[in-house]
A and B are shown apart, each in its own frame.
Chain A
Amino acid sequence: MRLREPRERVSPRARLMWASTAAVEGLVLVVAVAVAGPVTHWLPLGWWVVGVAALLTVAYVLVVPSWRYAVHRWEVTDTAVYTQTGWWARERRIAPMSRIQTVDHVEGAVARLFGLSTVTVTTASAAGALEIAGLDRARALALVDELTLTADSVPGDAT
């Protein structure tokens, strides 16, 4: 027997969101290296360092978002929530429905541009939050309603 992947995937637009975030962050890094190094000579860095930083950024933007999209999955059943996140390091988290404490719905500034949101399910453990990023907004809201209803119907203080 082995643990299968969760059934549902996140929105395909998440790839674009991750790619654009990574591209902007990479651009900032490349510009910072360029300004600190060859432009102002504040640090002894040549143009080749800027080139390497740019190459790494491009590789990251091309590879990681698709990889992340392939990994990111989630599933909600009557008794449990199951998520899979990450890319290089893959993390699968399973929490019983009876132990859910809060269900958060967050739309970050960038995510809102793409009509996406993040649903975070927390338990009483600081090590056990389940995060589903890159969900379609409507799907996310429906999921929050569903989780809140199911979690409410289970008695106990969830610790």
Chain B
Amino acid sequence: MSTPPDAGWQRLDPRMLLVHPVKEVVRFLPVLLGLFVAGRASGGTGVWWNAVGVLIPIGLGVLRYWTTSFRIAAGRIELRRGLVNRHVLSTPLDRVRTVDVTAPPVHRLLGLTSVRIGTGTASTDDDERLDLDGLPAEHARRLRAELLGARTPAGDRQALPAEEPILVFDPAWVRFAPFTSAGLAITGGVLAVGSQVANSLGGLGRLHPERLADDASGWSWWIAVPAALVGLAVVVSALSIAGYVVTNWGFLLARTADGWHLRRGLLTTRETTVDADRLRGVSVGEPLGLRLAGGGRASAIVTGLGHGQSALLVPPAPRDVVRRAAAAVLRAPGPLDAPLTGHGPRARTRRYTRAVGPAAALLLVAVALVPLADAPWWLPALTALGIPVAVALAADRARALGHALVGGYVVVRSGSFTRRREALECDGVIGWNLRTTWFQRRAGLTTVTATTAGGRQAVTAPDVPEPAALALARAAHPHLLDQFLEAEPVRTSP
């Protein structure tokens, strides 16, 4: 019966027998609780039902362990699973683009890891994923080296230097956590869940607005409002710092023989490798909050990353640290430091009209509502505040605009709330989109987009003067555009 094609299959680590049942029990927890309650109510036979409820998930876990196996043979990695629906997934080794090693808390207790092998497939089906859930940490490292080293000849592999750290986590970075939008999102989530829980426990029903008003009447508004704001700020800061620490603790960015290695996480550790061949550029983000605090963040523009795989290079950190790390990844500081060509007065005017226009329209509506619909007087006053905010936003957006071609990279900067400076390798540009609305054509401006297969799929420079837009695209791809160019039509006198 022993046929060569069946040889070499390996199981996952037997310690997964402990992980799976625990996970299955957690998943079955609501059902179990229901069974428990039902068992109590009916009495007698309930014990048996409870036992069945616990045993089924454990049985499923054991079954999954026995039916899952994988092997590396004949230049392919194959994953076999399923008892009734036999599922064999197979991919050539040279298609492997990323190997992510994740270790959730239960895995870490047992010294296990979960390995996700990325092939850059667009498939989002869970069954199509090459996940090896449950390998010993050491085995996972060897597997990763084997998979990613498949491209380099065996002889060279011994000579590879160990990884050289470029950036190591500094606990002082947590001061940037409250300035990220993630902090706000976490707070919003916690408040929403908290109010749900409080509501379902009948907590909100017991609050009487009149009593609150009575209690607060002793307080002056001038004390109550700032106190509430400070309280909210403290909660937001605490939650966002906690979130930051959980995701980014122990962050390490290291240079390896053929790429970059990233590790982070407090409870669940994540390890990602970014292949140098697949790196197309770097995006340095300076969202408004982080920028005001003197910070920034960076991510890599990498092709072949699957959905939900992060290409984060530097978590929110001081601006200089981000610049230095990003420059190290690009192997050149130029694209991140070089001065950019501005987009000129017309682009600046457009920033102002587009920001102040809606604010002014809002103000007009508010003013009109006062006599027409008996709106309170403070409504126009409040909307009038929008004008200076819009002006400040437009000024900031206008200041951000810029583009350049530096050392073989297309460099673009734009935005205010989400300001980004993106550097994309010319070789990584796989097309150019030049978009003009009727208004833009009148102003002689073009929105230039360099498309790419990685990151956000494109790098966009809004409102570039047309000659500068063409010059940028021509400098990046000399032969591509020239065939579609013509001389300016000479104006002949009638």
- The A73-119 residues at the B interface (CB cut-off 8 A) are 75, 77, 79-80, 82, 86, 88-96, 99
Complex interface: chain A residues within 8 A of B304 (CB): 159
Partner of A88, one of B431, B438, B454, B486: B438
Complex interface: chain A residues within 8 A of B48 (CB): none
For the complex, give the distance between the alpha carbons of A2 and B473 in Å: 12
For the complex, give the distance between the alpha carbons of A159 and B224 in Å: 58
- Let me know if A99 and B484 touch, CB within 8 A: no
* Cβ of A5 to closest chain B Cβ, rounded Å: 9
Partner of B451, one of A4, A90, A125: A125
A-side interface size class: 20 to 34
- Let me know if B484 and A95 touch, CB within 8 A: no
Complex interface: chain A residues within 8 A of B433 (CB): 91-94, 127-128
- Let me know if B480 and A159 touch, CB within 8 A: no
A89 nearest in chain B by CB position: B437
Cβ of A3 within 8 Å of any chain B Cβ, yes or no, is yes
We find that the number of chain B residues with CB closer than 8 angstroms to chain A is: 34
* Cβ of B92 to closest chain A Cβ, rounded Å: 13
Cβ of B212 within 8 Å of any chain A Cβ, yes or no, is no
* Cβ of B435 to closest chain A Cβ, rounded Å: 5
Given contacts A2-B466, A125-B457, A125-B458, contact A82 B434 (CB under 8 A): no
Given contacts A94-B484, A96-B480, contact A127 B432 (CB under 8 A): no
Given contacts A1-B470, A4-B484, A80-B483, contact A93 B437 (CB under 8 A): no
Complex interface: chain B residues within 8 A of A126 (CB): 457
A93 nearest in chain B by CB position: B433
* Cβ of B262 to closest chain A Cβ, rounded Å: 21
- Let me know if B441 and A94 touch, CB within 8 A: no
Complex interface: chain A residues within 8 A of B458 (CB): 125, 127-128
- Let me know if B485 and A123 touch, CB within 8 A: no
* Cβ of A96 to closest chain B Cβ, rounded Å: 6
- Let me know if A1 and B431 touch, CB within 8 A: no
**New A-B pairs, 6, CB < 8 Å, besides A93-B433, A94-B434, A158-B430:** A86-B435, A92-B434, A95-B451, A127-B451, A128-B430, A159-B454
Interface residues of B (CB under 8 A from A): 278, 303-304, 430-438, 441, 449, 451-454, 457-458, 466-467, 470, 473, 477, 479-481, 483-488
Can you report 15 residue pairs joining A to B where beta carbons are below 8 Å apart?
A1-B467, A1-B470, A1-B488, A4-B484, A79-B483, A86-B435, A90-B436, A92-B434, A93-B431, A94-B484, A95-B451, A123-B431, A124-B453, A125-B458, A128-B451
